[in-house]
Structure 1
Amino acid sequence: MRTFATPDRCLRRRAESGGLACVVRSAYPDPGDRSRRVACLRSVSPRVPAPTSDLFAKTAPAGPRVVPVLVPVALDVAYSYRVPLDGDAPVGSIVEVPLGPRRVLGVVWDEEPGGRGLSTGDNRLREIVRVFDVPPLAPAMRRFVDWVGRYYLVPRGMVLRMVLRAPEALEPEAPVRGVRRAGPPPERLTAARARVLEVLAGDFAWSRGGLVAAAAVSASVVDGLIAQGTLEEVWLPSGLPPGRPDPSYGARDLNPDQAAAAAALRAAVAEGGFRVDLLDGVTGSGKTEVYFEAVAATVAAGRQALVLLPEIALTAEFLDRFVARFGVKPAEWHSDVAPKTRARVWRGVATGDVAVVVGARSSLFLPFADLGLVVVDEEHDGAYKQEDGAVYHARDMGVVRGRLGDFPVILASATPSLESWVNAEQGRYRRLSLPSRAGAGRPPAIVALDLRRPAPERGRFLSPILAAAVRDTVAAGRQALLFLNRRGYAPLTLCRSCGHRFECPNCSTWLVEHRFRGVLTCHHCGHTVRRPDSCPECGELDALVACGPGIERIAEEAAELFPDARRLVLSSDLPGGTARMKLELAAFAKGEADIVIGTQILAKGHNFPLLALVGVVDADLGLAQGDPRAAEKTFQLIQQVTGRAGRSEAGARAFVQTRAPEHPVLRAIIAGDRDGFYDSEIAERRRAGLPPFGRLAGLIVSADAREPAFAQARALALAAPQQDEVTVLGPAEAPIAVVRGRHRFRLLVQVARHVDLQAFLRRWMAAAPAATGGVRVQIDVDPQSFL
């Protein structure tokens, strides 16, 4: 059972700040333990006076009610606060509380078994300032916050911060001043006034700004009509109520494989309860249309649905497909959404007015009123792992949220992660297969081009065979895609006279040349300098040489080889940002360009109907890494990007340039042997005890200087508890040893699947010396990056 305790440091803070005390949770209930779960949901009751036999004795007044409040700061504890005598704060209420000299948001958390938490000093506790008029966080959402914090060893306050990410939503939007028809037309009816009255026909009210724009008049015209009594001012509610998706609006005809999978998903929604379905379909098989049927069933049942996408800001096409199927746009949640819109979405989700959200990984922490389905599209994508701040994996936590909320989860991909593949093989997930493309499309024929013979011309990176194929494709009125997963013009710039290499002063990496902007940039810390004309070391003019290709260099080569073709270059760091990429992706999909050159953003589920040729410029790029998932990631990326071709007709081709055509990954891609690759990779992982047959956790120790970072890392290694089937590797200097001026060392923990990794890490951190002097230790459970 969990108990409350009052640490000495919190008693000191209470005395200093006027009565603030804190409550510490010593353990957490297992989400699967129903008895404990029920206990955690009991509300806090005021102290009840003992019965007395004296009928005329005065009853002692009940003491003030005390509740635990979790605040969004980097702490794992809930603080105790008094509820005002004239108010109420049910469990889950979002409140404003004093914390030291400031006021912060918080959530009334679940009562600890055993009572009120503090037996003395209640009169010195600080009081809740305000209870916001929004629905309380649901029990499943509170359990989810506890679960994420416990699994990733992240303070629950940091997890709660992601839930309370839109504080503007806690206040209702102020009404907007508007106007409506109130009296007869004015005696002098000008053309401008007539247009205003025409817009106001039908007894509708308009905002002042909207009326001025719709009638194409000046504000003074509207003011004049108000002064004459023709119009009157009214208050209008802010924002339009969200349109509710119509499950029957644009239902599509599905092929037999799609229909069978859709029926299974609709049945899962109708039955209710937790289950995970892996929608495993080849690229272009229509997975989106299939899981739309599950979304439709969820909406028809009056519940909410969440669709996670790895790059929501780049998938305008997905939103168009949603509108075509349901008649309205879904609510969006990602970093490009304006703050006011985010507030409306957050509040609409909490009240249940928003039925469907399409969002990035952070949308998993929205406070849904009645979430009934989570869909994780492109579930294999590495973008679902949050690496900074509160570390978590949205795919895995989507499954956890389904388990805690007792509703179905759908994972969709043409190249499933090895974890999901094994779960399906072992029966934990149900596999729904779409083995063929929808419509007339056929997967492209994949050909390996050995760059060792014949090699590209000196100074070029496209082989003659690939260049000729692009030329023929464009001449036939079709489109070509050139893929290289490397931003900028070149990864390294050096002086041919003295050998000077341009390095980042804050990181142990080379500066990447971006010739389009004329700068050298670090992709880790953002340090940027102008590309000089002379070497800063020896002063030699015109001696700087770009080494290796980036997509800008491939674009330059394409301009020389195909001068008459319309070309686009797409990368996340080009000027114009997300808005430009949306427009250019849409333009390419419509056939307004002949050749697109880009990075991995082109592999994110886009549909290019006219694309007939894909050229992978360097297939070996992802294989030369010390990453246990390197083979899996390379296979998924190349399979996804080549799968963009041949969506609307047969005859598409893909050329894969490599210097290692005998590599097992490339052999599997060229042979189209997806199942064989998975079988081979699973066997390797099983032998090595790597995920999903074992578990990993990374510890990253960083400091402003190398010595204290190494000393802390070494002390951590020495303090590691000895335990069977647990291996601690390191410390070793990180592959990128310095990032943003901080020196980094890594330790890696490898345990057998059945070992409680979190319990081991907690014992280790409790036994290890505390980090001091600016040294930081970050724990990364289930790491995806090893740099």
Structure 2
Amino acid sequence: MSRARVLVLNSALGPLDYRVPHGMHVEPGSIVVAPLGPRQLTGVAWEAERMPSDAEVGDNRLRNLLAVADAPPLAAPLRRLVEWTADYYLAPPAAVVRMALSSTSALEGSRTAVEYRATGHVPDRLTPQRAQALERIGDRQGLIRELATIADVSDAVIRGLVKAGAIEGVEVDIDSPFPVPDADHAPPALSDDQRAAADTLVAGVRADAFAPTLLDGVTGSGKTEVYFEAVAEAIRAGRQVLVLLPEIALTEPFLKRFHDRFGCEPVAWHSGLRSTQRRRAWRAISTGEARVTVGARSALFLPYARLGLLVVDEAHETSFKQEDGVHYHARDVAVMRAKFEGCPVILASATPAIETRHQVALGTYAEVKLPARFGAAQMPTIEAIDLIAEPPERGRWLSGRLVGGIAERLEKGEQSLLFLNRRGYAPLTLCRTCGHRFQCPNCTAWMVEHRLTRRLACHHCGHVEPVPRLCPECKEEDTLVACGPGVERIADEVAALFPEAKTAVVTSDTIWSPAKAAEFVGRMEAGDIDIVVGTQLVTKGYHFPNLTLVGVVDADLGLDGGDLRAAERTFQQIRQVSGRAGRGEKPGHVFIQTHAPKAGVMQALVTGDAEAFYAAETEARAEAGAPPFGRYAAIVVSSEDQAAAMETARLVGRAAPEVEGMHVYGPAPAPLAMLRGRHRYRLLVHARRALDVQDVIRAWLGALDWPAKVRVAVDVDPYSFL
């Protein structure tokens, strides 16, 4: 190539042409360093015919590329995925490519680092902390910070041991190889149903062709063990596997189960990794050395060399939808990646999304069912508690029947879980004297009281402030009152009712890393926790055989807000958390506290008739032309200047094209009318399924100009309507 079209990592720019210097080898997918004015930008060489440029430039005006990165080129299937994602979600291609090149240090070639290990020498001055450090470090090796964490001492203690000769530095290649999983390390004893399901998935891997399959199994049916057999087959065939998980907190329990089955841990990819860990993982994935990767949605765009299987675990989870930057849905993009790679994809879920079930009904996806729990475990008994007929005591949130159930489990030495999907102590704090309500200064949202940290926090922008002693409005003292319950308030009530019980609060505030998740799992398995009070973080992925009671504190909470998926999401969430009960040989019981026990979603949960619930929801969606039978796209206009945002939203609304089968609603202030200091207006596009709504919106917005201080974002297939 004498010239190359390069997609530089700047979303404001389109593809640019450069000259390829003599002796430099550049091919489509090559990662290059390109000059742009005085700067040097990373970019990817692309096929010119697939990435049109706004203006053709003569060869004599081209600037030379500066370098080619010491990394494999992005393969054609990944480049096709970038193009599809950018086109479908109306995102700049550069923003999508940036997700594939998410470790800049990985492009710098091989590197070494100094790690430290004990020498066996005992220093003359052996303080208690030094002795503890040497004992806990043992034969481990790592960076000073890592050894300090292992030993639970300060960095200074480790540095002192280095000076004393008790610990020495060794130069290591930071890209040391990952262990290779052994497909035959510890094969499980599967039931007949599990074996039949596993054989179907294994056959899909052997066929080595695109084949989307829904693995639909009730909670506790052993879906993970079943798809592990497909993972094992891909390992035997020398191909790579990607397993997507919806939450970082689920990574640690998964790693343990994987280690037990395959003899080593997979390569992990999530936001909690250090830059050196990300670099090592990225390079191992790009060369094919990393055989199995488990990660959050961002792992989907990594440059796998030989991808042979994709698994989306808990595929119904809404957290697979990216709400910032590129608004993609990892479940749907995973199916497209498998299509471009020509490999099978497994969507595993106990409560599949209606969109996925519709694809099964159309015959686009195959379905494998696991209708019963593994072994002696039975599905829990579920009953609703009518909060109108059986209200809790005044000032309390747990009904008498639920409290009695917890007391019974404590007497038996069994564990209980109370679920409330609301972090903090209370969702609203107000002054009982003047009525002042604490609202976030950056968002139209109430500040949530967190008593564990003595802070008021906004869960949308992260703003925090201390709880004041006086009301800021009327200056009265001791007049602030917490309204409504959060998990911390429920934990306080549990502590008052059962002072001897060991209670744990499990939310993203307390379980913020895989290490914290591992600590929680260890305490549960050791019986060090009697009662768990948690948010949706505990609804999936965990297996505690001694947990026999689940109480849903407020089952109606998720039905507020008018979201088209509200009933489905409530059903999925409560069914998932119900599945934590009775996963061992002891029977499980679930209490659902609700003000509407006759509502369809509550009846479906109590009777276990998921098919009737899904049939009714699907029919309602079809009548409304809602997904999967119709299409939605949200256009969100935002600016720090409210007048500019409003005017631009009106401009967009006035320019809305008249297209058969498409309706535009709005503009109107968004339910969250201000977010992170920006005023927001929304338009909602509703179109028939067959309409290429992306082309319509692209032409519509492309013809408009708005001030630079205004941001116009498009969310195709939105999940959040805030």
Give the TM-score of the pair, scaled to structure 1. 0.85
Report the equivalent of 1:254. 190
Q: SS of the counterpart of 2:558?
A: coil
Question: Offset at 1:618?
Answer: 0.1
* Residues 479 and 611 in structure 1, CA contact (< 8 A), matched pair in contact too: yes
Report the equivalent of 1:170. 107
Amino acid at match of 1:778: A
* Residues 250 and 326 in structure 1, CA contact (< 8 A), matched pair in contact too: yes
* Residues 729 and 749 in structure 1, CA contact (< 8 A), matched pair in contact too: yes
Q: SS of the counterpart of 2:581?
A: coil
Amino acid at match of 1:316: E
Report the equivalent of 2:134. none
Q: SS of the counterpart of 1:729?
A: strand
CA gap 1:85/1:660 in 2 versus in 1, 3 angstroms: same
Report the equivalent of 1:778. 713
Q: Quick one: distance in 2 between partners of 1:463 and 1:223?
A: 60
Q: Quick one: distance in 1 between partners of 2:95 and 2:46?
A: 15
Q: SS of the counterpart of 2:409?
A: helix
Q: Quick one: distance in 1 between partners of 2:336 and 2:280?
A: 26
Report the equivalent of 1:555. 491
Q: SS of the counterpart of 1:622?
A: helix
Among 237, 245, 248, the residue aligned to 2:181: 245
Report the equivalent of 1:411. 347
Report the equivalent of 2:667. 731
Q: For 1:62-103, what per-residue CA distance to the aligned partner results, in whole angstroms no more than 9, with x for missing partners? A: xxx111011111146211111111221122111111122211
Report the equivalent of 2:131. none
Question: Pairwise mapping of residues 71-470 of structure 1 onto structure 2 (< 5 A)?
Answer: 71-75=8-12, 77-112=14-49, 121-175=58-112, 236-470=172-406
Higher relative contact order (CA 8 A, sep 6+): 2
Question: Offset at 1:385?
Answer: 0.5
Q: Quick one: distance in 1 between partners of 2:322 and 2:57?
A: 42
Q: For 1:30-75, what per-residue CA distance to the aligned partner results, in whole angstroms no more than 9, with x for missing partners? A: xxxxxxxxxxxxxx4xxxxxxxxxxxxxxxxxxxx11101111114
CA gap 1:85/1:439 in 2 versus in 1, 3 angstroms: same
- Mean Cα deviation higher: 531-540 or 679-688: 531-540
* Residues 251 and 514 in structure 2, CA contact (< 8 A), matched pair in contact too: no
**Stretches of structure 1 lacking an aligned partner (at least 5 in a row):** 1-43, 45-64, 181-188, 194-203, 227-232
Q: For 1:546-604, what per-residue CA distance to the aligned partner results, in whole angstroms no more than 9, with x for missing partners? A: 11000010000000001010100111124876643441233124322000001000012
* Residues 69 and 109 in structure 2, CA contact (< 8 A), matched pair in contact too: no
Report the equivalent of 1:630. 566
* Residues 28 and 46 in structure 2, CA contact (< 8 A), matched pair in contact too: yes
Give the TM-score of the pair, scaled to structure 2. 0.92
* Residues 321 and 329 in structure 2, CA contact (< 8 A), matched pair in contact too: yes
Report the equivalent of 1:512. 448
Report the equivalent of 2:136. none
Report the equivalent of 1:8. none
Amino acid at match of 2:213: D
CA gap 1:591/1:368 in 2 versus in 1, 3 angstroms: same
Question: Offset at 1:234?
Answer: 9.1
Amino acid at match of 1:771: W
| 1:478 pairs with 2:414 | yes
Report the equivalent of 2:132. none
Amino acid at match of 1:150: D
Report the equivalent of 1:31. none
Question: Offset at 1:173?
Answer: 3.6
Q: For 1:325-378, what per-residue CA distance to the aligned partner results, in whole angstroms no more than 9, with x for missing partners? A: 111110000000111011000000001111110000000010001111110000
CA gap 1:631/1:570 in 2 versus in 1, 3 angstroms: same
CA gap 1:538/1:270 in 2 versus in 1, 3 angstroms: same
* Residues 249 and 513 in structure 2, CA contact (< 8 A), matched pair in contact too: no
Q: Quick one: distance in 2 between partners of 1:237 and 1:649?
A: 48
CA gap 1:119/1:515 in 2 versus in 1, 3 angstroms: closer
RMSD: 2.9
Report the equivalent of 1:10. none
Q: For 1:705-759, what per-residue CA distance to the aligned partner results, in whole angstroms no more than 9, with x for missing partners? A: 3322222112111111111111111111111111111111111111111111111
Q: Quick one: distance in 2 between partners of 1:115 and 1:741?
A: 37
Amino acid at match of 2:312: V
Q: Quick one: distance in 2 between partners of 1:617 and 1:630?
A: 17
Q: SS of the counterpart of 1:750?
A: strand
Report the equivalent of 1:52. none
Q: For 1:466-493, what per-residue CA distance to the aligned partner results, in whole angstroms no more than 9, with x for missing partners? A: 0111011111000000000001111111
* Residues 258 and 266 in structure 2, CA contact (< 8 A), matched pair in contact too: yes
Amino acid at match of 2:498: F
* Residues 571 and 599 in structure 1, CA contact (< 8 A), matched pair in contact too: yes
* Residues 489 and 515 in structure 1, CA contact (< 8 A), matched pair in contact too: yes
* Residues 572 and 578 in structure 1, CA contact (< 8 A), matched pair in contact too: no
**Stretches of structure 2 lacking an aligned partner (at least 5 in a row):** 125-138, 152-157
Amino acid at match of 2:659: Q
Q: Quick one: distance in 2 between partners of 1:556 and 1:625?
A: 28
* Residues 197 and 368 in structure 2, CA contact (< 8 A), matched pair in contact too: yes
Q: SS of the counterpart of 1:112?
A: helix
Q: Quick one: distance in 2 between partners of 1:545 and 1:208?
A: 48
Q: Quick one: distance in 1 between partners of 2:26 and 2:529?
A: 59
Question: Offset at 1:283?
Answer: 0.1
Q: Quick one: distance in 2 between partners of 1:625 and 1:94?
A: 46
Report the equivalent of 1:647. 583
CA gap 1:178/1:640 in 2 versus in 1, 3 angstroms: closer
Question: Offset at 1:172?
Answer: 2.9
Report the equivalent of 1:611. 547
Q: SS of the counterpart of 1:744?
A: strand
CA gap 1:177/1:755 in 2 versus in 1, 3 angstroms: closer
Q: SS of the counterpart of 1:523?
A: coil
Q: For 1:202-230, what per-residue CA distance to the aligned partner results, in whole angstroms no more than 9, with x for missing partners? A: xx9x999999x99x996578799x9xxxx
Report the equivalent of 1:68. 5
Amino acid at match of 2:307: L
Report the equivalent of 1:599. 535
CA gap 1:117/1:708 in 2 versus in 1, 3 angstroms: closer
CA gap 1:120/1:92 in 2 versus in 1, 3 angstroms: closer
Amino acid at match of 1:298: A
Report the equivalent of 2:154. none
* Residues 317 and 586 in structure 1, CA contact (< 8 A), matched pair in contact too: no
Question: Offset at 1:235?
Answer: 6.2
CA gap 1:317/1:87 in 2 versus in 1, 3 angstroms: same
CA gap 1:219/1:577 in 2 versus in 1, 3 angstroms: closer
* Residues 415 and 547 in structure 2, CA contact (< 8 A), matched pair in contact too: yes
Q: SS of the counterpart of 2:446?
A: coil
CA gap 1:128/1:602 in 2 versus in 1, 3 angstroms: same
CA gap 1:121/1:422 in 2 versus in 1, 3 angstroms: closer
Q: Quick one: distance in 2 between partners of 1:542 and 1:223?
A: 57
Question: Offset at 1:170?
Answer: 1.2
Q: SS of the counterpart of 1:388?
A: coil
Question: Offset at 1:312?
Answer: 3.0
Question: Pairwise mapping of residues 524-603 of structure 1 onto structure 2 (< 5 A)?
Answer: 524-574=460-510, 579-603=515-539
* Residues 686 and 693 in structure 1, CA contact (< 8 A), matched pair in contact too: yes
* Residues 588 and 596 in structure 1, CA contact (< 8 A), matched pair in contact too: no
